Structure 1
Amino acid sequence: MGRQLSWLKSGLAAVAALVLTACSPTEQGLAPEATDNKPSAPASTPGGEAAESGTLPGVPTAEQARTELAGLTVAPHGSMAGYSRAKFPHWAQQGEKCDTREKVLARDGTGVQRDEECRAVSGRWVSVYDDKTFTSASDLDIDHMVPLANAWRSGAAGWTQEKRKAFANDLTHPQLLAVSAASNRSKGDQGPDEWQPPSKPYWCTYARAWVSVKATYELSVTEAEKNTLTEMLGTCSS
């Protein structure tokens, strides 16, 4: 009788263990406790032009850019007489000890760590112009999508100093982005008809951003510039 009772207790214990296993939180649709401290995977976002723009703010759709391009004044380049980068004060203070450069570095990078003076001391950046990756902020320049000298000869020569400062530090429109120093210096003050990003997949975003900045600030384009922008917008998926 003792042996039968012992066998019965063992059997009941085994059945209980099976029931507990079958009713685990995962099987019941309940989230198990996180043990690796990893954040949840972000929800997927639809692809297309907005996704391709990355961190660059205010980039219009290709259709909007084509409409804006059609409305731009076409004129030859103006004179460079009187031009100086000092007439476009940058980088302006943006609060919390951060200037415009540091704001763009933080926006365009991943895992960016800053010191007490708001300087980026570590992080990871991908230069969209040439598809190169960097882990040191000193290897990066902040590019003005529409270069200061280009703006000067297409209308900014007649602006006030305050408006030129706003243009040079614009964080709202697609005017500033962190790229490799090599690509930025290769571009210089050239327009799209003279220089395009080496990474052709970025041409669509580049053209949309360029047109948007020129439209926002009512700057003119040359005939060659307009023709090239039209071709670059032709690389967009829609």
Structure 2
Amino acid sequence: MSTVNKAARFPIPLLLAGALTLGLTAPAQATPPDIPSAATANSELAALTVASEGSLSGYSRDLFPHWITISGTCITRETVLKRDGTSVVTDSSCAAVSGRWYSPYDGATWTAASDVDIDHIVPLAEAWRSGASSWSTSRRQSFANDLNGPQLIAVTDNVNQAKGDQDPALWKPPLTSYWCTYAKMWVHTKYRWSLKVNSAEKTALQSMLGRC
């Protein structure tokens, strides 16, 4: 995962060309599965347990094994890259060698897989603080590689890195037009995995769902 800011990697005109020129045609929208309606998300949010966040003591990303093999030589990351991109070409190891990826967090389009991260909508550290610290490693692996719900999405790498492990009370996608969808995905993931929310997080999610 690259940690270099794009503004440092590319001159501004080139950055804009790479992110925006390709947007002259309608971009493919990264759409994870099982995104609920706003009404369902509001009901699920109301059903979540509200509690103070737990400690990060003992946390390690290694306790959430990823990425794992999904099919053949394809790991979770490459599977999501193919799902969320357009015209994605892969090599014999299933690595994406070309394609286009539109990041709904910031509206940028990229043509190199190295510019794209696979974001855990609910970050692994956030899950740990919200209940996953008591899970088995097997359950944490399933969570970290969840392709059945809206937990994984391809987005601009340094935008994902800016998010870190913050919940919606502390970080939201730069594009306010995506806040509704982001909140629906966040709530549904926490609901599916029986994770808790804190009070500030719940308030932020209610406000974001109010935009739907």
Q: Does 1:210 find its partner at 2:186?
A: yes
CA–CA separation in structure 2 for the residues paired with 1:64 and 1:222: 20
Alpha-carbon distance in structure 1 between the residues aligned to 2:61 and 2:185? 22
Output aligned runs, 1:1-238, within 5 Å: 54-236=30-212
Distance 1:231 1:197 in 2: 14
RMSD of aligned Cα (Å)? 1.1
| Structure index of larger Rg | 1
Higher normalized contact order (CA 8 Å, seq sep 6+, divided by chain length): 2
Amino acid at match of 2:119: D
Deviation at 1:55, TM superposition (A): 1.8
- Aligned residue for 2:71, secondary structure, equals coil
Letter in 1 for 2:118: I
Q: Give the Cα separation in 2 of the matches to 1:68 and 1:54.
A: 23
* Structure 1 runs, 4 residues or longer, greater than 2 Å off: none
The one-letter code sitting in structure 2 at the alignment partner of 1:218 is S
Once the two structures are TM-superposed, the CA of residue 54 in structure 1 deviates from its matched residue by 4.6
Residue type at the aligned position of 1:186: A
The answer (yes or no) to whether the contact 2:104–2:155 under 8 Å persists in 1 is yes
Q: CA shift at 1:56, angstroms?
A: 1.1
Structure 1 length as normaliser, TM-score? 0.77
The number of aligned residues is 185
Runs (5+) with no aligned partner, structure 1: 1-52
Q: Which amino acid aligns with 2:46?
A: A
Contact 2:76 2:145 in 1 (8 A): yes
DSSP-derived class of the 2:69 partner: coil
State how far apart, in whole Å, the 2-side matches of 1:186 and 1:54 are: 19
Structure 2 CA distance for partners of 1:54 and 1:136, relative to 1, 3 Å? closer
| Structure 2 gap segments, 5+ residues each | 1-28
SS at match of 2:153: strand
State the Cα deviation string for residues 11-36 of structure 1 (Å, max 9, x = none): xxxxxxxxxxxxxxxxxxxxxxxxxx
SS, match of residue 141 in structure 1: strand
Residue identity over aligned pairs, in percent, reads 56
**Distance in 2 (alpha carbons) for counterparts of 1:204 and 1:61:** 10
